[in-house]
Amino acid sequence: MLLQRVIRYAAAYNLKAKEYNFYYELEGQEGKMKVTMLNSADDCVALCDLFRNESPMYYWPEQEYFITGREAVGERELGNAVAEGSPE
């Protein structure tokens, strides 16, 4: 499995075609944005949230997957408060 690190991303909505596009740039391929078309606003929001909240992000071209970097089980993001009702 050859993962490629994603270094930049952008989301767009094409008014004329009424389609959502997600652009991404891979490490070692600077200046060459790739695009994937998304089915819905929900898909676009979910992908943007994933990229906004996780780092690093990778692309697995053989499976056409975006993958987060590895994290330990139960790891919390820095600065996040303990969720209401969760054990401390």
Which of 21, 24, 31, 32 shows the shortest CA–CA distance to 6? Answer: 24
pTM: 0.74
Average pLDDT for 47-66: 93
31-40 pLDDT tens trace: 899 998 998 9
Three-state secondary structure along 32-72?
Answer: CCEEEEECCHHHHHHHHHHHHHCCCEEEECCCCEEEECCCC
Which phi and psi angles does 46 have, rounded to 5°?
-60, -45
pLDDT in the model for residue 67: 93
Task: Say yes or no to pLDDT of 86 above 50.
Answer: no
| pLDDT for the residue numbered 1 | 64
For residue 57, what are the β-bridge partners? 6, 68
Given pLDDT bands bounded at 50, 70 and 90, which one contains residue 77? low
Of all residues in the chain, the percent with pLDDT exceeding 90 is 64
